[in-house]
Structure 1
Amino acid sequence: MEVFYAVLLLVLATIVANTVYPYFPVIPQAFYQIFAGAMLSLVPLYHHFVLEPEVFMLLIIAPLMFYDGRNANAQELRRNVGSVMSMAVILAILTVILMGYLSHAILTTLPLALAFALAAIVTPTDAVAVSSITTNMAVPERVMGMLERESLFNDASGLVAFSLALTAFTTGKFSVGGGIKHFLVVFFGGLLIGLILGVLAVWARVFLVRSGKDSASVIIPYDVLVPFLIYLAAEHVGLSGILAVVAAGLMYSLSTTQLRLSSTQLQLVTRSTWHFLTSILNGFVFVLLGVSLPTVWVNIQQDTSKTLPILIFLAVVLYLVMLGLRYLWIRFDWALIRSQAHERRTNALVGALSGVHGTITLAMAFSLPLTLNGHAFPFRNSLIFVAAVVIILSLLVPTIIMPHILPSKEQPVDPAEALQQRKALVAYASERLVQENPDNPSATQAVIEILNSQATADRPDKRKVRDLLNQATEIEVQTVQELADQGVIPAGYANRYVRMLVLKTQMSSNNPFVNLTLWFRFVGHRLTHMVSRRQHRDQRIAQQRQRLAQTPHTAEQERLQEQRIHQEQQTPRQRPARNPQADAKRRENFLTIEADIYNNVASFLNNVSSVDNQTEVNAVRNYYNARHRRFVSKETTDLESELFIQAFQYEYTYIRQQRSADLLSPALADELYQQISTDQMLYMQENAGTD
């Protein structure tokens, strides 16, 4: 159970970091995740927490690399093979060789084989980490494409070099010729087996879809298992599992047309599942870094406290040398990205700073063996520490420098304008629904509520909501008052209803006298109405007695007339006995009251609704809809479906009208069209799933 709780807390820390990040997006998301991990390290459970390296590579790196390959543009990759080989193979190998000798020269106690292992660890770059830093910056397209393609394969180069260095250290045997041969076999063998298994995986998936087994419960688990199985198969035969899953992901990318031969719902679920999974795994790695750093720091201080400054110095030198090497490589166009002469300096600087290290670097550091020949693996904590410092530097330096050399990203659509237009088209559709469906307020309001909730995620203004609720409460009181005046409901029942209404709404207002005023007004009206009705009754009785006195009559006639008058005087004071028929009648009266109140409040909300108060009006509408649903039947489902279709058509009409009047840009219109199409598709799928 300890492993379960440990992983659970790591995931929760990742979620917390991802939740905080949008509030302060200036700081890269990875820093929040590292900090969350550092806070988590205070929990006793993590004081000696160790994740098995093989498990780390299999469960985290394999799906991440498969996803990167799956999302890569295979056509772009084929056109830029030269650039890929230059950056991911040639530059990676040169970096490992140069940094290996440099590390050994600075830290002379570090064996040369482990120095090369350290160089291999800090060589791979992470395009995802780059994206988190440059979210709002306009990175040159050529540079960003180069970084994405490079990160696919230099990970494998680093991993293969890392494996060779570890083998040389653990066995004490290494030859240049044998190393090169092994590198080529592992590298290209991993690609080959990945391509073969990727083709087979695509064929199997297509077969499942065509044979009718395309439910999410079959395809989603199949897709998630594919990278794990391919990684294990490649590693089992001694080839690069990482390159195998990248190659398999590329086969998925090339087979997009065949993979689209499935339901839209399945494609949406697949995309959402992978996006969620990779987002959690990427954050998981940096949380692990934060969890591990305090322990590594303590271990280093206990073991080799005198070398701590040297380790920090080594990490800084390694980062600066890699930065300079990348700059020169891109500056002289050895990266083959075909930059214009006047762009090379800027592209070189951006490309060098964008050599951010992240997931793979940390993964390789953690994959260092825990023991060697029954003893703790030498320099393991030192290598992890240096790798961690390099990662932090590669995140921190571009975060500080890049905003000064790159312009802000120009978004084709202003988010504020898009949100305003989204609210406007929902308001237009809601108004048309009310106009075209006056006989079905309940179903109409339910549809309008859902449409408004999809228009914006803004939180309603509590003060505006209270004001609207107070106005709606006043409408309720007026409605009950009119029904009592008309004799539709008994006066006592109206009294109890308004008293209950005031008590329920008392807590929602900062000014308690608002509802008390309503109560006193209602009581005053009822007293006036009762006095007026009693006066009319007394006048009617007086007139009856006057007519009796003026006309000849017998003693028996006078006795019967007085008995009728006495009964009329006593009738208001009599209370009917409780019985099922009376209860049914009261229920019927209550439903009548509820229907009238709901219709009047809905009409009020429709009249006061606007683009500016849409969120607050919808909050009040949600309250009354929820209350109304408890008393009405659910036979409006089919009608609501028809109203939804009408609403979507009205939204399309709004966009066409705005485009015809040149009030919407083509980009904004396209985004709104896409949002409506997505809403419509999801609604139709949900509706089909409930049939």
Structure 2
Amino acid sequence: MNILISTLVITITVACSNIIDRYISGIASPYINSLMGVLVALIPWTNHLVLAFNNEIFMILILAPLLFFEGQTTPLLMVGKRIKRIIGVALILVVISAGLVTILASQLLMITLPSMLIIVAIATPTDATAFEAVVEGRKISQPLRNILKMESLFNDATGIILLQAGVLWLITGQLSLGQNLVALLKSAVGGLVIGAVFALLIMACRQFFVRSANNVISSQTLFYLLTPFCVYFIAEEVGVSGIIAVVIAGLVHNSEANRSRFSSPRQMHLGIQLGRFGTEILNGAVFVILGISLVRIFRSQAPILFGSAKWLIVGVTVYGLLLIVRYGYARIFVGNHQPKTAILFALGGVHGTVTLAMTFSIANRITPQLFNFVIIVETVVIILSMVVPTLLFKWLLPIDGDEAIREKQLIKMRTAMVTVGIKSLNNLSLSPTVKASVIYDLRDQIRKNSLRSFFKQWRIFTANKTMMTNLQSVEQRRALMQAFDTERNYLYNLAKNHVVSSDYVYELYSEILLAESLVLDPRNQMI
């Protein structure tokens, strides 16, 4: 029951923060999510309802499906073409960063090497969701965005193995490089194999049923939604990287979707919408949880915070050294040795709740004193990795004004297409009741119907569901089809004459097709 209440509070907070985000411009939505999480933690009643952060629950219930959905948006072919670069940033860069920063920070700050390796290993994996937060509203080259995304999808396994090595070094007093390398390869390759094998098996089963007369969309959708949880759980039970396994499973499903999208359009459309919905909600939940966790960490670590500034010095030093190493790596291997690209790559190494999850995973394996110190240091690293690039990107990256232009153009085009659609009704002999109903429906495409008119229509329909005869219902359906056909022809001519971007036309065209599907689908109950 407690976990259900906690989930409910977090979900409501995500929903509210996403609505608030629509009314606040200039602040990225993840920051709104985080601030709402802070508010939840500051209010005693709501803070009491949310359970303490549990890394295992977080990894399997939030991170696993989120990475699965993100993997689905990435073509497997693109990963194959960039495999060398992915290995470089997800393996070599992480190992180099951990080695150099551990040695330098240990010497500078007089902290033992094992303890410093633990701190640095936790701070090396990056977070794609957090990166999207700091870069929101800014233009960044697609190749650089892609490599930063690939890095964050695959570098968690390397960081986890290095963290395990640091903990064992601290406990036993010995660092076994060979054993750790074998463990890393086993974890990464094993996760890849488990993810690919189980995704292929699930895909084969799905395709067998979807191409038969016994396909059940509800069952297929359940299997689809359960895939990341099952793959992650199996991989972790086997002892390999569950994170890499769910990413690979997502990549496999991307290829499946591209080659079976017309075999069951309803099922495919539902899957796409669920994926987008899940990604948006889980992204919001990640930052709400981050905000709640940060407040609780600062509250619980008050003695450390006010007793010494060492935690701040260590956090700033670790983050600064990681930036330097990332910059040096990028100058050599990324972006044709361009200084600006290297700076953007270095700043793009943003950290988030994955860092917290890794920190809490060692809570019972190290002393309470060291754990308290590590968690407050990692909190500093998380905050710096988000705040510093957010501020610097204002000077380094231009504003992405395309989105504002796009929205204005879409509003203009949508208004024009609805106007021609309504005019086309003049060519039809419609009863006043049918014509008024059709015009109301068409105006809804541009949200020109007032709340008052909606309640008027709702009252009429609710009071008398049979206000239209069967003949009038058919007449209404045909009138809407005529109007939608006119709207599509209008958009087709715009694209044909290259008046506007084809992307704008495709977006509005798809809206019309979805609206018409509601009219034509014999299974719906709306007409």
If the length of structure 1 is used for normalisation, what is the TM-score?
Answer: 0.70
- 1: distance between equivalents of 2:207 and 2:294? 45
1:398-446 Cα deviation digits (max 9, x unpaired): 211112222233538632122022012112211221x133432222222
Identity of aligned pairs, percent? 28
Deviation at 1:153, TM superposition (A): 1.0
- 2: distance between equivalents of 1:403 and 1:431? 47
Change (3 A) 1:119 1:188: same
Quick check: 1:447–1:643 contact (8 Å CA) kept in 2?
Answer: yes
Question: For residue 62 of structure 2, what is the aligned residue in structure 1?
Answer: 60
Question: For residue 5 of structure 1, what is the aligned residue in structure 2?
Answer: 5
Higher radius of gyration, 1 or 2: 1
- 1: distance between equivalents of 2:104 and 2:482? 70
Q: CA RMSD in A?
A: 2.7
Change (3 A) 1:100 1:211: farther
Q: Which amino acid aligns with 2:264?
A: S
Deviation at 1:225, TM superposition (A): 1.0
Question: For residue 348 of structure 1, what is the aligned residue in structure 2?
Answer: 342
Deviation at 1:117, TM superposition (A): 2.4
- 2: distance between equivalents of 1:59 and 1:281? 9
Quick check: 2:188–2:240 contact (8 Å CA) kept in 1?
Answer: yes
1:159-197 Cα deviation digits (max 9, x unpaired): 222233334445655412111111111121221222111
Quick check: 1:216–1:269 contact (8 Å CA) kept in 2?
Answer: no
Three-state SS of the structure 1 residue aligned to 2:139 is coil
Quick check: 1:437–1:444 contact (8 Å CA) kept in 2?
Answer: no
Structure 2 unaligned residues grouped into runs of 5+: none
What are the residue-to-residue correspondences of 1:304-383 with 2, within 5 Å? 305-307=306-308, 309-332=309-332, 334-335=333-334, 337=335, 339=336, 344-369=338-363, 371-372=364-365, 377-383=368-374
Deviation at 1:89, TM superposition (A): 0.7
Q: Which amino acid aligns with 1:405?
A: L
Change (3 A) 1:684 1:120: farther
Question: For residue 416 of structure 2, what is the aligned residue in structure 1?
Answer: 424
Q: Which amino acid aligns with 2:420?
A: Y
The reply to whether residue 675 of structure 1 matches residue 517 of structure 2 is no
- 2: distance between equivalents of 1:628 and 1:292? 50
The reply to whether residue 644 of structure 1 matches residue 484 of structure 2 is no
Change (3 A) 1:664 1:65: closer
- 2: distance between equivalents of 1:117 and 1:177? 18
Question: For residue 267 of structure 1, what is the aligned residue in structure 2?
Answer: 268
Quick check: 1:293–1:385 contact (8 Å CA) kept in 2?
Answer: no
Q: Which amino acid aligns with 1:432?
A: S
1:453-475 Cα deviation digits (max 9, x unpaired): 1224xxxxxxxxxxxxxxxxxxx
- 2: distance between equivalents of 1:330 and 1:432? 58
- 1: distance between equivalents of 2:36 and 2:452? 38
Question: For residue 436 of structure 1, what is the aligned residue in structure 2?
Answer: 427
Match of 1:689 among 516, 521, 524: 524
- 1: distance between equivalents of 2:118 and 2:353? 16
Quick check: 2:34–2:288 contact (8 Å CA) kept in 1?
Answer: yes
Quick check: 2:139–2:400 contact (8 Å CA) kept in 1?
Answer: yes
Count of matched residue positions in the alignment of Structure 1 and Structure 2: 519
Give the structure, 1 or 2, with the largest relative contact order (CA under 8 Å, sep 6 or more).
2
Question: For residue 121 of structure 2, what is the aligned residue in structure 1?
Answer: 120
- 1: distance between equivalents of 2:73 and 2:502? 27
- 2: distance between equivalents of 1:215 and 1:664? 41
Quick check: 1:443–1:639 contact (8 Å CA) kept in 2?
Answer: yes
- 2: distance between equivalents of 1:84 and 1:679? 42
Question: For residue 654 of structure 1, what is the aligned residue in structure 2?
Answer: 490
- 2: distance between equivalents of 1:669 and 1:313? 54
Change (3 A) 1:437 1:628: farther
1:71-122 Cα deviation digits (max 9, x unpaired): 212112111111111111100111122233345445546x543422221221
- 2: distance between equivalents of 1:422 and 1:291? 41
Three-state SS of the structure 2 residue aligned to 1:72 is coil
Moved more, 660-669 or 161-170: 660-669
Question: For residue 521 of structure 1, what is the aligned residue in structure 2?
Answer: none
Question: For residue 30 of structure 1, what is the aligned residue in structure 2?
Answer: 30
Deviation at 1:123, TM superposition (A): 1.0
